[in-house]
Structure 1
Amino acid sequence: MDGAPVMAAPGEEIQQAVLNHLQRLAISVGAPIRATVRDDRAGCVVPLEVATDGSSRMTGEPVRVPAPQASGTGTPTTTATTVRAEAAATAVPQSAATAIPPEVIFGVSREAVASAVAHTPARGFDAVAEEVLGDGPLTETAEGAELLTEPMTRINEAVRAGRLDAAAELADRALAEAAAALGVHHAEVLHLRELSAYIAYLAGDPVRAFQLSLDLARLRRRARDGEAAYDNVQSAATAWRAVRDPEEGLRLGRDLIDLWTELAAEPGPAADDPRPLESARARMVRLSDRAARAARP
């Protein structure tokens, strides 16, 4: 980040590309992200805060800035949107010239991360982000420590550096080795699958992140671990909200809500707070409306 341009994919609105990018940053640190977004096309800098669930709000008034120089055809020299981001616990820069602290992970200071997440229990991808960014144990068992400490260290370093392709490759390799040595249902193998889902989400592959997370939720529910199953449902829900195609969102959402409803009918965290499930059902209604509009001639 720190002044890096964000480019929209073909067919994607630049505003949505920026929001998606900032949401992935928020997920990566388990805390809301505040950013100054310079839109050269609109000629302004906008201060935003984006939460881990993708919701956003303006944190100040837009500021007009000079438009970029035009080329000989009268077209601006760039249509990229420039973003500076940091954790919401730190001061929000009010202009694109404001400096970002140098000790950063994805443009977010470690101190801000620790402060922002200290007061709320982490679930889903937020919990994985805390593990990646924190200094705690890398594994959950003694046999896992012997086998996985070195590869987990390299995976976390790659994620922190933003080398997500390398992180995904390292995680896949470690997962295969751990499954062969410990068994596919071992706690360390499940933990690695959570990490793989998180990396897929950060890398912009929400469908894979969703499928990995929901499969884990099913496994853990069958093992009668409702707490861990709900964490994985939360990860799946985060990935699902990043799926933009309404038809695919509906298909994935049905599977998510079916499992979520089953968990909510049992004692545990899903039953304790029904609001996230209600929000997911409301999104299904919105997706249905979007799909119906898209199907009209």
Structure 2
Amino acid sequence: MSVDVRITGAGYAEVAGRPVVSGVGEEPQDAVLDYLHRQVLSTGAPVLATVTDERIAFVVRIQVLEDGSSHFTAQPEPAPVPVPAAVPAAVPVPAAVPVPEPAPVPVAQPVPAPEPAPVPVPAAVPAAVPVPAAVPVPEPAPVPVAQPVPAPEPAPVPVAQPVPAPEPAPVPVPAAVPVPAPVPVPAAASAPAHPVDDLVAGPGARIQEALQLGRIEWAATLAQQSVSAAAERLGWESPEVLQLRELSAYVAFVAGDARRAFQVSIEIARIRGGHDDPQALQSVLNAAAAWLKVADPAEGLRMGRDLIALWSALPAADEAQLESARARMRRLETRAGTA
């Protein structure tokens, strides 16, 4: 398996286009290695990564193994810098700006032309000859039109009276406004989606934003509050609340609280497994990633027993991944026996 990794000059990391958030005091390359190691555990195969580190302007190729170790597969190379390609894109913009400027110039010339009718005509002989010829023609027309206007001046008086008459005509329009009063109907129709949007989608976006900004403690607090509020309205086992709880487990993992991340993930896996939800396997893999972070042998053994019991009961479980987990259990037993 091969993936592309990018670390920006500001220290943000992406793996295959997905952001990888560093923990408090954690370097972005360490967060990337942890992420790639979880992929190795989930797929059961080493991961080849092409890392473009914009901080040092080099491309590095590495391989991450199942035990979490990594090594170079090639010598570092200078990173390509395609920045100048964007410069010519801005050049045509100012080039297009002066094009409309000549348009207002001829418009201003015909305006003074009508005042001295004979003199300006020869001045604009090449292009404006037809224009002044057409200008004097309509000029006599408005003169007679202006004469009949003063004649029917008494007429405007009754005309002014009918003007208020059409004003009541718009009144029915507000009267018709109540007709769209059925708008409340869609509002009622959207009511079922309202709790989900307010209780799940909104908090989820804010938690992700806090993670991107590195505000891990704030993200953890917001995740706990959001889960409690959503569960009170939708139930602890609703799909939407399970998504929020999964995000809460990830925040705990990023914050370094592997125990909490494991407990939340394994509980979600049990709920989804009980409903034959295929996402139960991903929840188990999330729990396994948190389990690998627990260093205490006794606690690792206790958590591992629960994990493998649930994992092996899933029909989509990968036997190679399970065997890797059992091998870690044997190592933990050895460490616990010698402790």
How far apart, in 1, do the equivalents of 2:257 and 2:297 lie?
A: 16
Deviation at 1:172, TM superposition (A): 0.9
How far apart, in 1, do the equivalents of 2:257 and 2:63 lie?
A: 23
Local SS of the residue matching 2:279: helix
Deviation at 1:223, TM superposition (A): 2.0
In structure 2, what is the equivalent of residue 247 of structure 1? 298
Amino acid at match of 2:291: W
8 A contact 1:20–1:242 mirrored in 2: no
TM-score under structure 1 length normalisation:
0.55
CA offsets 1:70-107 (integer angstroms, 9 cap, x no match): xxxxxxxxxxxxxxxxxxxxxx9569xx8999xxxxxx
TM-score under structure 2 length normalisation:
0.49
8 A contact 1:198–1:209 mirrored in 2: yes
CA offsets 1:201-223 (integer angstroms, 9 cap, x no match): 11111111111111111111222
In structure 2, what is the equivalent of residue 223 of structure 1? 275
8 A contact 2:249–2:264 mirrored in 1: yes
How far apart, in 1, do the equivalents of 2:28 and 2:319 lie?
A: 30
Change (3 A) 1:151 1:3: closer
Deviation at 1:145, TM superposition (A): 2.3
Count of aligned residue pairs for this structure pair: 196
How far apart, in 1, do the equivalents of 2:220 and 2:51 lie?
A: 27
In structure 2, what is the equivalent of residue 55 of structure 1? 68
Which structure ranks higher in relative contact order (CA pairs < 8 Å, sequence separation ≥ 6)? 1
Q: Where in structure 2 are there 5+ consecutive unaligned residues? A: 1-6, 12-26, 41-46, 54-59, 83-192
In structure 1, what is the equivalent of residue 326 of structure 2? 281
How far apart, in 2, do the equivalents of 1:29 and 1:155 lie?
A: 23
Deviation at 1:199, TM superposition (A): 0.9
In structure 1, what is the equivalent of residue 240 of structure 2? 188
Amino acid at match of 1:279: S
Q: Does 1:235 align with 2:274?
A: no
- Superposition RMSD in Å: 3.7
Local SS of the residue matching 1:158: helix
8 A contact 2:272–2:280 mirrored in 1: yes
Q: Does 1:162 align with 2:214?
A: yes
In structure 2, what is the equivalent of residue 136 of structure 1? none
Deviation at 1:251, TM superposition (A): 1.1
Identity %: 42
8 A contact 1:246–1:291 mirrored in 2: yes
In structure 1, what is the equivalent of residue 203 of structure 2? 151
Deviation at 1:228, TM superposition (A): 1.8
How far apart, in 2, do the equivalents of 1:33 and 1:100 lie?
A: 20
Q: Does 1:269 align with 2:327?
A: no
8 A contact 1:158–1:167 mirrored in 2: yes
Change (3 A) 1:94 1:209: farther
Deviation at 1:142, TM superposition (A): 6.8
8 A contact 1:35–1:49 mirrored in 2: no
Amino acid at match of 1:55: G
Amino acid at match of 2:232: A
How far apart, in 2, do the equivalents of 1:216 and 1:200 lie?
A: 15
Amino acid at match of 2:256: G
In structure 1, what is the equivalent of residue 113 of structure 2? none
How far apart, in 2, do the equivalents of 1:29 and 1:3 lie?
A: 25
How far apart, in 1, do the equivalents of 2:208 and 2:217 lie?
A: 12
8 A contact 2:281–2:316 mirrored in 1: yes
How far apart, in 2, do the equivalents of 1:217 and 1:179 lie?
A: 17
Q: Where in structure 1 are there 5+ consecutive unaligned residues? A: 5-16, 38-45, 62-91, 102-140
8 A contact 2:227–2:241 mirrored in 1: yes
8 A contact 2:48–2:63 mirrored in 1: yes
8 A contact 2:63–2:73 mirrored in 1: no
